[in-house]
Structure 1
């Protein structure tokens, strides 16, 4: 159960403490539903290996697939001549994303083959690479945020969102932090959540984030070794990105 939903629906009787309760209410949850798949085997081969038959994974190519149907006919009892949909894929790394794209394409091609339909795929937009947070910049931001009274949460390694900052982070040392503010328990990507975007708490968050980032810039500019490291990484990555002539 998402932490925010648990705080809304489950009574803890104050046992969590105010800090933990506030963290639970503000923790973002990016997947609101769960897809279930049933697989049937001829024999329980896993028992011979001493396994329980349960598997859990937070890795793999096909992490998230989002779709929206743009056109699919106008009557419930008529098969339409044309159906259109748009899909968005997410994965942990660029390589996983390419693998996920191949798998989704194979599913669509199989559906078209099974139904005798023609399939036309049109790419939209550009791929966003996985985000690489620089350790020094992250530490500097964390110190600055704490000095402002914030309580940063280390979420490095998690897939938080899609952003072209991921592409930038493959070229130069980068930092892309997030900052929170009170939304009254409203969840992400909802109209109630959007209404808190111009609240005093949101304004304070913007100012705190800008101040913390300014501190990062000052710390980097005054640390000769780190400045040289970042410039060297930038040069090396640019050279690696240029194909040989």
Structure 2
């Protein structure tokens, strides 16, 4: 888009109407995609059916598809348009083990497909290239980080996604997080006949968890540690020779995360010291960063969502920060302008990561959220493309 006359309100509104019509025409197809994902949840890095289903829909709407990007079999990039301004839309693929789409990634993917299809119909007129990124393993693994590091997001000027929740926010706040995989190795022995010959890896885990419990009182505001024991031993009459724990350390920023991680590691090392076990502590996945909102994109999204009848939640910032989770979309937001709005789904008192929440992510209210979120993102991309100042800012790069 080089003609400044394209950036008139009348032309902008015309582009939005075309995008809206395209989204409306594809609505049943995309809702069907969301429901299919919901009925067939797949966990991190195993989202093969999910990736097939999303790319099939996008391919039918004229997108070219690149599969297996960043050496991740389920990751993909779907591309339409040829403009010099590249807008990325992220579709998360994975479900939670045991509880399915209790974080509503089927809604996220459906909204991304809606936005992509809507933008594809106006991409050349708006001077935009739209890329829909299929990003695996947000819950466990950090697929977006692997994709960033492999250069898959190179050349993208702005990125966005929407996430279902129990409140509606145009901006988003998260904590940085790192996962630690901890294994204690001791020595097995008969628990009754010769316990003195054993080195108890279960005791090492207990000492560590007691130390973690005592540590919590002295963590900085915003810091959190939490986790589970995934292996506690083999039998009650055998001194455990191996135990395994998975723990998260969280902090308000990735810069602060190292301090929490260091203190958490010391607790695990204390378990080994106290019992004589050896300990292996490994970062399970790359660290997720905090989220950096791009304010102009936030403002455009809010106005567009309100135009569709969405109502945003008013919550004190202190409470929002206290309730902040984590996402690998945060790492994307540090690399380029990005937004991650939360869109409300009526879950009848349930909240994210509860099995009851999963139930409501394939009901009419979630379907409406999917549609509204997708259209709002498409309209936001059109605003960015047709606002001379914002277009120039994004083309120049955040740090220009």
C-alpha distance in 1, partners of 2:329/2:292? 9
Provide the residue aligned with 1:152 in structure 2: 312
Please give the secondary structure, in 2, of the residue aligned with 1:79.
coil
Query: Is the CA contact (8 Å cut-off) linking 2:167 and 2:343 kept in structure 1?
Result: no
For structure 1, which runs of at least 5 residues remain unmatched after alignment?
A: 1-24, 40-54, 237-245
Q: Show the 5 A alignment for 1:23-62.
A: 26=166, 59-60=221-222
Report the CA distance between 1:27 and its aligned residue: 5.0
- What is the RMSD of the two structures over their aligned residues, measured on CA atoms? 3.1
Describe the shift of the 1:105–1:57 C-alpha distance in structure 2 as closer, same or farther (beyond 3 A): closer
Query: How many residues are aligned here?
Result: 190
- The CA deviation string for residues 126-152 of structure 1, in whole angstroms up to 9 with x for no partner, is 111111010000011111111111112
Query: Is the CA contact (8 Å cut-off) linking 2:167 and 2:344 kept in structure 1?
Result: no
Q: Note if 1:223 corresponds to 2:383.
A: no
Q: Which has the higher contact order (CA 8 A, sep 6+)?
A: 2
Describe the shift of the 1:193–1:143 C-alpha distance in structure 2 as closer, same or farther (beyond 3 A): same
C-alpha distance in 2, partners of 1:58/1:151? 34
Provide the residue aligned with 1:188 in structure 2: 352
C-alpha distance in 2, partners of 1:226/1:149? 25
Please give the secondary structure, in 1, of the residue aligned with 2:343.
coil
Report the CA distance between 1:187 and its aligned residue: 2.6
Query: Is the CA contact (8 Å cut-off) linking 2:294 and 2:338 kept in structure 1?
Result: yes
Report the CA distance between 1:79 and its aligned residue: 3.1
Q: Show the 5 A alignment for 1:107-126.
A: 107-126=267-286
Superposition misfits of 4+ residues, deviation over 4 angstroms: 35-39, 55-58, 154-157
C-alpha distance in 1, partners of 2:380/2:289? 23
Q: What is the TM-score normalised by the length of structure 1?
A: 0.68
Q: Which one of 64, 80, 84 corresponds to residue 244 of structure 2?
A: 84
Query: Is the CA contact (8 Å cut-off) linking 2:294 and 2:339 kept in structure 1?
Result: yes
Provide the residue aligned with 2:19 in structure 1: none
Q: Show the 5 A alignment for 1:122-141.
A: 122-141=282-301
Q: What is the TM-score normalised by the length of structure 2?
A: 0.43
C-alpha distance in 1, partners of 2:334/2:214? 35
Richer in strand (by share): 2
For structure 2, which runs of at least 5 residues remain unmatched after alignment?
A: 1-164, 169-173, 175-211
C-alpha distance in 2, partners of 1:216/1:64? 34
- The CA deviation string for residues 30-83 of structure 1, in whole angstroms up to 9 with x for no partner, is 9xxxx98599xxxxxxxxxxxxxxx999835xx222312111113446431111
Describe the shift of the 1:97–1:117 C-alpha distance in structure 2 as closer, same or farther (beyond 3 A): same
Q: Which one of 330, 335, 344 corresponds to residue 171 of structure 1?
A: 335
